[in-house]
Structure 1
Amino acid sequence: MRRAPHPVPGHLDGWSPVQFSTLIPGPFARSRAASEPDSTDEPRTKDHRSGRARILPITAAAAALVLAGGSAAFAHAQKTVTLDVDGNVSQLSTFAGSVDGLLDDQGVVVGARDVVSQDGSLGEGAEIVVRHAHQVAVTVDGQEQSVWTTALSADEALDSLAARGQSVALVASRSAAGGRPELSLDLALHGAADVVVDGQTLPVVDADARVAQVLGELGVTLNPLDRVSVVRNDAGRVQVIVNRVTMQDVTSTAAVPFASSTQQDASRYTDQKRTLTAGVPGVRTVVERVTTVDGVESGRVTLSDAVTQAPVDEVLSVGTKARPVVVKPKAAPVAAATGTPVTAGGSADSLNWAALARCESGGNPASVSASGKYYGLYQFSLGTWAGVGGSGLPSQASPDEQTARAKMLYNRSGAGQWPVCGKNLFS
């Protein structure tokens, strides 16, 4: 039998699986083997929602004093002790001379992972504390595993694990009958707790009860995939966390590109092509199972990924025949545009054009009026200049061309084209 080195056991007792303890029924035998992971989770003998520590007065059958000479020996051997088995406390009158004898008499079997506060001889007034180990599922730093604990409640187990400097949550399994959340420990020996579900924090005044009982009293209904865990928050308060879990199969599609090929066509030129078969993209269908926890996606698994519609490849016909070379005759050089040929003549040749130029532009062939509308020796407007065959700006033409086109304008319209200076033509 394993004995604890400390007077009051109750902390974690190991982290690896061991063989399950076997209990012999007796006055202090547990109603179930706590180390069995698939226990029925029936509550230990206790009042509903009451404190765990309690006194169970049991009077051992006193042996009849048959011989008067032996009465002193019996009185010397008989003693009163206190026995605490998993929080069930009893005061006993016993003739056992050792702790082992007391436990044997009471039908208390201690396994390899269970702890007892002392061993050896049993004296008057001794207090014997026995804690049987539980196997519980926990997540330690995000990784789920099974551990053994002799704690009497979830808050005690969390305290023990927190002392190791780890982030720990107790994981409640779901029973086969009704899917109730099962945890081999009550939430708390004494004190309050919270249930956090659907964005709300619901207080529990008396948390000396099982998880399923607390959720039932609060009217919390669990869906088949919901997860239940027990943690201690930053303020040191025990909390039952209900995570709503959903799984949904999501189908998505994507285009599958088509390939393209060509066929040679000797009847067409190399720069000619035509479509023989139009390309059509295919369809790829992916089905994924998406898991969400409290509305947030936590994972997805691909269930199928297949091309559900094959693409149709494109086929093009491309010519292979070279086009004939066509030799084009060389074009005659084009002279720079200077407007239509100047043909004036007539009576205009005898007029005084130099006097008109002095009056209009001061004799400057590049002159431009202040308004920017009139150009050259004779202050042509652009419209008038183009009307007599000129191109570009009059002020950029040679003085001879400007004079010749002024004569053309005179022959067509007379000296009235220069209403102020036209009289100088006749000086």
Structure 2
Amino acid sequence: MSSSPYETYETYQPYGGATPPYEPQPPSHGSYEPYEPDPYVAQDTYRPAYTYEQEQARAQAAAPTEPRLPRQAPAPDGGRAAARRAARRKKSDHRPEALRRLLPQALVVAFLAGGTSAFVANDKAIQLTVDGKERTLHTFADDVSELLADEGVDVGEHDLVAPAGQTALASGDEVAVRYGRPVQLTLDGQRREVWTTAGTVEGALKQLGVRAEGAYLSASRSKRIARHGLDLDVRTERSVTIMADGRRRTIRTNAASVREAVDEAGISLHGQDTTSVPQDSFPRDGQTITVMRVTGSKEVREEPIPYATERTEDDSLFQGTEVVARAGEPGMKRVTYALRTVNGVKQKPRRVRTEIVREPRTQLVKVGTKAMPTSVAGADSLNWSGLAACESGGRPSATDATGTYGGLYQFDTQTWQSLGGSGRPQDASASEQTYRAKKLYVRRGASPWPHCGPRLHG
């Protein structure tokens, strides 16, 4: 027994020897039991800051102002053994809470482990070659198009991608990109634009199917083709036959013109010599070219220039009558001709120059519009058609052998004009000639026609 008015007892120690820190005991009438850690169970030491502070505040609010000694609180029924059983039940109740707190941490660890596995599974090692430059890279791209987009490789319609853009990728795959290059190709004189993914002239020729054996190339076969392209002139080897001076020569050539091919055949052109096709044209395979030896000279000739005739109406002349008011005169021109002989054969002269020596003078002609009278008193009833048939065969334009007499009734010019006629009688109309013949009969009777005059009364 102690001399103190209060009894003292040893505090309960869990198995293991360490004395836990003192915790205030709640009043006996409360349901709260102090937490005692189980030395055999690993404890979760994680406490969120706000949760721990809230629990401390609740504990202080529930604690009595003056802490009691263990003895002051009435022991539960059963004594110390019962208290130990209650403490074990309390520990069992706290174990699910500890597991609940450990579960999120375990899930995080599992998620990280799974994510790492997926990361490793999706990563692919790919060998990418862009225009001959190789590099190995790691990518998460699913197909070729996605890989090229991730790497900033732009491709156009003339570029080559192998394998195709929608091809799925796997680790270890190889992807190649060849950029297209424009080539301004002049092939045997024909110019066109083509595209190639080859990096050199030789590769481009093979890709385009151009036969380059023995051909002329404006650039070396090993020349690199830049991205902006290249101008390339290709002349393939052709067989050309040249005929000259009675001989036939067949050569193999990649000449750019007919003249070059003729020179390669050892044939010279002199003076006016030429070829059967233009000398600057492109020689085709299998073509035959004829060399023409040309000799030539010039010849000057004087030639007349016909005059024009201008007609005007004159109401003082009878209809059908034309009178030359001014006779026309032909002009004169001097013409220079080129005379050629090709391979010994004369060609048609070719006019090369014309010079006017004298201009022609226009002929002026008056055309009668006056109505012609047909009646002459005392002569209308005679047989004028019979007289005309006898004198001229009934031809108004007839003339005798000497050219002195003309017309239906064989007037001489002096008699004709004395009767009012103009010009020559044979140029007048038949009606005018008959009219003037009637007038002549009234004056002189049938004497102007001594041989045929009797026909007037027959």
Using structure 2 for the length normalisation, give the TM-score. Answer: 0.28
Higher relative contact order structure (alpha carbons within 8 Å, sequence separation ≥ 6): 1
Structure with more helix by fraction? 2
Using structure 1 for the length normalisation, give the TM-score. Answer: 0.29
